[in-house]
């Protein structure tokens, strides 16, 4: 047990100082914070209704509408302020689901050392042999474009990576002395997994978190962009980019603003994720 506590404490300390010192991570956290606040508080600040037509379609920015009007004459700023909540919420839930499934499968596969392991990993391999977006589109075709389906299909695409990482780390950790000691003490499997294995595989799992989250944003907002996710007239950043392309000559801000917001969000998540990976000493550069 001594090994365990020093292990985690050391890495946690290294982790914190490494992440906090890296300028990339600080910029990243600021980026993420800006977009998350925008998405959560946006609806309170929006000057107009996100779905009401209030002027000429494609009107360029004016003092009253600082980002102009969209292809149906709705206020772009208001739609931008409303357009993040649903997608961000879906991405968070999808990421949580990804980890719930990935952790369960990875732990079972890595710990049982039986045929279950190869069975589960074959299943994971099959999911990895399909392009991510393709799986999402097939799911939408089959089951319809509801929020639940989008969340489930994003998790379906993302869990194999988590399961693999968890399995490999579990395999490695479960051979260590303290796990064998716990087995010899007669502790039950659940408590061994929870108290001995999980804390010791936390590093690689957390390192992977930022990446899964940014993938879930890319996937879900891409489906929205394709017009196969959130349905009009609901405001959504991906959808806004797609529907306003017809008026880019009149009001380019209707496309530029949501593009920039998505770009800042993903860059921010990536910068923070990279810093985590680096601080864990997992990175080669």
Partner 1 sequence: MKSIRNRLDFEVSLKEHPRPRWSSGRPLITFLARRLASAAGTLVVVSALLYFVTNVLPGNVALVVLGKNATPARVQALDARLGYDHSIVVRYFDWLGGVLHGNFGQSAVAVALHDPQTAISSTLSSPLSNSLILAAIASLLLIPLTLILGGISGLFAGRKLDNVISGPLLVSGGLPEFVTGSLLILLFFNTLNLLPPISSLSPGQSPFSEPKALVLPVVTLLAVTVGSGARQVRAGVVEVLRGEYVQYARLNGVNERRIVIWYVLRNALATSVQVIAQNLQYLAGGIIVVESIFDYPGIGEYLVQAVQARDTNKVLAAAIILAAFYVLINILADVIVVYLVPKLRTEMS
* 186 belongs to the binding site for partner 1 (CB under 8 A): no
| Residues 156 and 131 sit within 8 Å (Cβ to Cβ) | no
Give the chain's count of helices (H) and strands (E): 12, 0
* 141 belongs to the binding site for partner 1 (CB under 8 A): yes
Q: Give the span between the Cα atoms of 205 and 202, in whole angstroms.
A: 5
Q: Give the span between the Cα atoms of 170 and 117, in whole angstroms.
A: 12
Name the 3-class secondary structure at 75.
strand
Name the 3-class secondary structure at 153.
helix
CB nearer partner 1, residue 88 or residue 182: 88
- Between 17 and 46, how does the x/- string for binding to partner 1 read (CB under 8 A)? ------------------------------
Distant-in-sequence contacts of 186-191, Cβ < 8 A, 24+ apart: 189/111
Least Å distance between CB 80 and partner 1? 14
Q: Give the span between the Cα atoms of 258 and 81, in whole angstroms.
A: 10
Residue 89 belongs to what H/E stretch? Answer: helix 85-112
Least Å distance between CB 150 and partner 1? 13
What b/e sequence results for 1-12 when a residue is b if at least 16 CB atoms lie within 10 Å of its CB, and e otherwise? eeeeeeeeeebe
Applying CB under 8 A, the span of 76-84, 90-98, 177-185, 215-223 interacting with partner 1 comes to 215-223
List, as one string, the DSSP characters of 113-147: -SHHHHHHHHHHHHHHTS-HHHHHHHHHHHH-S-H
* 255 belongs to the binding site for partner 1 (CB under 8 A): yes
CB nearer partner 1, residue 131 or residue 186: 131
* 249 belongs to the binding site for partner 1 (CB under 8 A): yes
Question: Which of 29, 54, 60, 137 contacts partner 1 by CB under 8 A?
Answer: 137
CB nearer partner 1, residue 75 or residue 208: 208
Least Å distance between CB 128 and partner 1? 8
* 270 belongs to the binding site for partner 1 (CB under 8 A): yes
Q: Which of 151, 147, 153, 149 is nearest to 94 (CA)?
A: 151
φ, ψ dihedrals at 130, nearest 5°: -125, 140
* 285 belongs to the binding site for partner 1 (CB under 8 A): yes
CB nearer partner 1, residue 53 or residue 104: 104
Q: Which residues pair with 284 in a beta bridge?
A: none
Question: Which of 72, 75, 208, 236 contacts partner 1 by CB under 8 A?
Answer: 208
* 76 belongs to the binding site for partner 1 (CB under 8 A): no
Least Å distance between CB 225 and partner 1? 4
* 227 belongs to the binding site for partner 1 (CB under 8 A): yes
* 243 belongs to the binding site for partner 1 (CB under 8 A): no
Question: Which of 40, 119, 126, 181 contacts partner 1 by CB under 8 A?
Answer: 126
Least Å distance between CB 191 and partner 1? 27
Q: Which of 209, 86, 89, 227 is nearest to 158 (CA)?
A: 209
Q: Which of 134, 124, 135 is nearest to 165 (CA)?
A: 124
Q: Which residues lie near partner 1 (CB under 8 A)?
A: 125-126, 129-134, 137-143, 161, 164-165, 168, 204, 208, 210-211, 214-215, 217-218, 221-222, 225-228, 238, 241-242, 245, 248-249, 252, 255-256, 259, 262-263, 266-267, 269-270, 273-274, 277, 282-285
């Amino acid at each position: 047990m001594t090994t365990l506590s020093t292990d985690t404490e050391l890495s946690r300390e290294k982790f914190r100082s490494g992440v906090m010192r890296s300028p990339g991570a600080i910029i990243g956290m600021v980026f993420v914070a800006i977009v998350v606040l925008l998405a959560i508080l946006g609806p309170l600040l929006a000057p107009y209704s996100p779905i009401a037509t209030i002027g000429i379609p494609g009107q360029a920015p004016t003092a009253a509408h600082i980002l102009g009007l969209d292809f149906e004459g709705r206020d772009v700023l208001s739609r931008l302020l409303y357009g993040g909540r649903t997608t961000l919420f879906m991405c968070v839930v999808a990421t949580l689901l990804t980890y719930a499934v990935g952790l369960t499968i990875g732990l079972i596969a890595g710990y049982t050392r039986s045929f279950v392991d190869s069975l589960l990993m074959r299943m994971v391999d099959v999911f990895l042999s399909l392009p991510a977006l393709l799986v999402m589109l097939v799911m939408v075709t089959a089951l319809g474009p509801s929020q639940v389906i989008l969340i489930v299909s994003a998790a379906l695409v993302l869990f194999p990576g988590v399961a693999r990482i968890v399995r490999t780390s579990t395999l490695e950790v479960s051979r260590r002395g303290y796990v064998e000691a716990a087995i010899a003490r007669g502790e039950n499997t659940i408590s061994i997994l929870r108290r001995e294995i999980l804390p010791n595989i936390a590093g690689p799992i957390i390192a992977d978190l930022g990446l899964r989250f940014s993938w879930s944003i890319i996937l879900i907002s891409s489906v929205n962009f394709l017009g196969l996710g959130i349905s009009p007239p609901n405001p959504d950043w991906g959808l806004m980019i797609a529907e306003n392309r017809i008026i880019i000559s009149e009001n380019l801000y209707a496309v530029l603003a949501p593009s920039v917001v998505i770009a800042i969000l993903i860059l921010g998540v990536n910068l923070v994720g990279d810093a985590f990976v680096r601080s864990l000493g997992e990175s080669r550069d």
